Every structure is written in structure tokens, then in C-alpha cells.
Homo-oligomer: A and B are copies of this chain.
Amino acid sequence: VTQKKLAVIGGDGIGPEVVDEGLKVLEAVAGSDAFAITRYDLGAAHWQRTGEVLSDETMASLAAADVILLGAVGAAPGATDVPSGLLERGLLLKLRFAFDHYVNLRPSRLFPGVETPLSDAVVGGREVDFVVVREGTEGLYCGNGGTFRGGTPHEVGTEVSINTAYGVERVVRDAFERATRRRNKLTLVHKHNVLVYAGGLWRRIFESVAEEYPQVSTDYLHVDAATIFLATDPARFDVIVTDNLFGDILTDLAAAVTGGIGLAASGNINPSGAFPSMFEPVHGSAPDIAGKGLADPTATILSVALLLEHVGLLDEAARVERAVLADITARTPGTKRSTSEIGDAIAAQVCDEVAAKV
């Protein structure tokens, strides 16, 4: 067995805490030799201390990893010394773009017993289990745009959404592939009646790739309508494919309706393997609860499961998922465990199962 190089970026706020629990479970399931871990100190605190967001050396070092686990980056909302977007554009999005993470994979599953804001009439007895394939390398996230006559009463701020046939096709194809490994249902979400240029491109490519997958039933929703269905009938979805911004919005809502961002995992995947893929919880750095042991590490642990799957450790991935499921199902509503207690419990579940097998 060759050891995999795992780069770990704890980040800010609760990031380092949840990542520690993720690594705890990783070691429990895969042993301590499967991954060679290198930790990187990056984020708002690092920037405040060093003035550096992400150096070329660090980028080169990260690029040499097989896979990356990230907690969360981002300063407290009140941290006026950190320019808006500095960490997001300079670190998180820089990694996603530089490492060509064009599949931003975000599974949403309502685990049994998990509290949802939706009523029983909406979700009771229905299986809510879908995955959003969010494009991760273009669209409105490309960073093109600017400020003209900045600071004057005539200021103009522009943002350009760039969408390429190349970029759209590869992610649409990935989504179709995933649909065939699931329930053969794929929904395209866009807003092609208003964003006619980008929407037209997405739609035409979607329809042409669909011809290669006759077994997959497809539909289309405008993004506004998609939010309605996420609130009123989330069980209707299997795989959703959408652009970077719509994916950002829909996956937070999807997380909310399936029990909150404390449970939402994600993978920033470069399927070609040319660059390391990166796994991270959907939630942010939550500075208000940092250092108090209040954060739920489950989203990070589920991201570790996605990471294991990505590197081909399929049994291990499934084991982590089962352990999380068992832990969640056993949760008593109202009782509150600390970050490390949850990590310990899930790690113990993983070990129990391994022991039971022997």
C-alpha cells in the first residue's frame, strides 16, 4: 500500500477543531500509516500574523499532495482589518481554481432522526437523498469585473460570469455519470430565461450530453423554482447540476432542509487527478463559537468519507458513513455533546465495526 500525501488546512475559527476530529476518524478507519499528513497554517489569523495569504511556495507544496482536507477559512464578520474577499478569493477560491476543482460535490441526505425545519407533511416517510454537482471553476466566481469611478457617486461595479463550453460540458458529463450510479435522475438548474447567453450554453450542452445517457431522465428548473422545490419537495431530487453561484446558494438551502450545515460535506474534485482534490465542510469558520468545543464535526467527518472514496478506499469510506449514520441515529435530541465527544463517538463506532468484523 502506498502512502497518500494528505495536506491539512485547519484554517480559522472552528476549522482546526473540526479538522482534528476528521483526522481522528480517518486514523481510526484507515490506520495511522495510510496517509502522510502535512499541516498548513493558513487563513485569516495567519494573514494577520504574517501578511501572507498564500505564497507560491505553499501553493507548490500543496500541489504535490494527493489530497487536501480543509476546515474553514474566514475572519469574524467584525474583523475590519481583513478586506472582504481576501481569504475567500485569495485562498479558498484560489485553490479551487488553481487545482481545477470543476466538480464541487455536495451530497444532501436527511438522516433518520435528524431534525429538519420542514414539516412532516413535506418529508415524513420520504427518502431525501440527493447530490448537487456544482461547477467550481467558472461562472460568476471567475473574479472578472471591476470598479469604475470607485468611491464617487458615479461608481460602477461589474461582475462578469464567464461560462465555457469546455467547462460546462465536463461538469455536466460528470453529473450524468453520477446519475447513472444513483437513481438515474438529473435536474439542470439555471435561469436561462433571463441569463440567455450563459443559460443557453448550459441548456444546449445539457441536452446534447443527455442524448448519450438515454437511461437518465432529465428535467430543468429555474433557480428560483428550485428553491421552492427544495423547501416543498426535496425528495424529488436525485442529482442536480448547476453553475457555481446557483450551486453555492442551493447547497446551503439543501443543507438547511437536511438538518443544517453542521452535517453538510463537500468535495472540490479534479476528476483527472492532475491536481489534488480538496474536501471541506460546507460551513464556515463560525468565529462566534470557536474554541468552545461547540462545533459539530460531523460535516468534516463526512467530508473525510468523500475523501476516502476519492482516493479509492471505498470500504473505509462506507464505514465512516455507516458510523456517522449510527451516531446520528443514536443522538438524543436536546443533549449536547462537545466537538471531540462527537468525534470520539464516531471514531469508536468505526473501531467497533472493525472489531466486529474480525
A139 to B164, CA, bound (A): 21
Contact A84 B227 (CB under 8 A): no
Does A325 reach chain B (CB closer than 8 Å)?
A: no
CB contact under 8 A between A227 and B252, given known A118-B119, A158-B160, A160-B159: yes
Closest B residue by C-beta to A115: B121
**Which one of B145, B193, B201, B249 contacts A197 once the chains associate, using CB atoms below 8 Å?**
B145
- Determine the distance from Cα of A271 to Cα of B201 in the docked complex, in whole angstroms: 37
Hey, what's the 0/1 contact readout for A105-125 against B, CB within 8 Å counting as 1? 000000000011111111000
Closest to A169 in B: B153
CB of A198 within 8 A of CB of B157, answer: yes
Within 8 A of B (CB), among A251-276: 251-253, 255-257, 260-261
Beyond A84-B203, A163-B158, A200-B84, is A252–B224 a contact (Cβ under 8 Å)?
yes
A223 within 8 A of B: yes
Tell me whether A161 is interfacial, beta carbon within 8 Å. Answer: yes
**Among the listed B153, B161, B257, which residue makes an inter-chain contact with A159, where contact means beta carbons less than 8 Å apart?**
B161
Question: A157 to B117, Cβ gap below 8 A?
Answer: no
CB of A312 within 8 A of chain B?
Answer: no
Asked, given contacts A117-B119, A228-B256, whether A84 binds B196 with beta carbons under 8 Å apart, the answer is yes
The reply to whether the CB of A1 lies closer than 8 angstroms to some CB of chain B is no
Give the oligomeric copy count: 2
Contact A198 B232 (CB under 8 A): no
| Nearest-Cβ distance from residue A223 to partner chain B, whole angstroms | 6
Partner of A228, one of B120, B157, B158, B255: B255
A118 and B234 alpha carbons, distance in the complex (Å) = 13
Tell me if A156 counts as interface (CB < 8 A to partner B).
Answer: yes
- The answer to whether the Cβ of A77 comes within 8 Å of any Cβ in the partner chain is yes
Min C-beta distance of A308 to chain B, whole Å: 27
Let me know if A335 is at the binding interface, CB within 8 A: no
A319 within 8 A of B: no
A257 vs B253: C-alpha distance in the bound complex, in angstroms? 12
Tell me if A355 counts as interface (CB < 8 A to partner B): no
29 A–B pairs (Cβ distance < 8 Å), ordered by A: A74-B193, A84-B200, A88-B194, A89-B193, A89-B194, A117-B118, A117-B231, A145-B161, A145-B195, A146-B197, A152-B165, A153-B165, A154-B164, A154-B165, A157-B162, A157-B202, A158-B198, A159-B160, A160-B160, A160-B161, A161-B161, A191-B245, A194-B245, A224-B249, A225-B252, A230-B253, A231-B256, A232-B260, A253-B253
